[in-house]
A = this chain, B = another copy of it.
Amino acid sequence: MHSFSVTIEPRFYETDALGHINNASIAAWLEIVRMKFIASLCTDGSYEAQHWILASLQIDFVAETFFGDDVIGRVAEVQVGNTSLSVLCQMHQCGKLTVKAKAVLVFMDDKTRAPVRVPEFLRKQLNANS
């Protein structure tokens, strides 16, 4: 897959009293990476946020993240299921791995709100990137 990455500049209010970025802010940052990654596949603006439901999220907090240096959030791998995508993401700060995460997104029919097969258009995009 082509490397997809997003630069996130930590915000002061995302720190907590332990002096580092709070875990909930990192969960939030992962949404930024996922959504920009999905948007990068759907260059015509189709298949936007309302099509994807977050089914599960696994986060390993490998090292602390701090205010003051940019974080690079990278999509390391995507596994395509029938109605879902598993998006593996890594975050680095100052070259150090800080976060590994896996999000499972389910593709929903816009009207029925039921899971449907990930469309061929997206499968091709993901394969073209691999």
Report the copy number of this chain in the oligomer: 4
User: Is A27 an interface residue when CB atoms closer than 8 A count as contact?
Assistant: yes
A120 in the interface, Cβ–Cβ < 8 Å?
A: no
Given contacts A12-B49, A13-B23, A55-B60, 7 further A-B contacts (CB under 8 A): A11-B31, A12-B17, A13-B24, A17-B17, A55-B61, A57-B57, A57-B59
- Identify the 5 closest CB pairs spanning chains A and B, nearest first: A27-B27, A24-B28, A15-B17, A13-B22, A56-B60
Task: Tell me the residues in window 2-44 of chain A with beta carbons closer than 8 Å to chain B beta carbons.
Answer: 11-13, 15-20, 22-25, 27-28, 31-32, 35
Is the interface on chain A under 10, 10 to 19, 20 to 34, or 35 or more residues? 20 to 34
Mask, A60-100, CB within 8 Å of B = 1, is 11000001000000000000000000000000000000000
Residues in A lying within 8 Å of B, measured CB to CB: 11-13, 15-20, 22-25, 27-28, 31-32, 35, 49-50, 53-61, 67
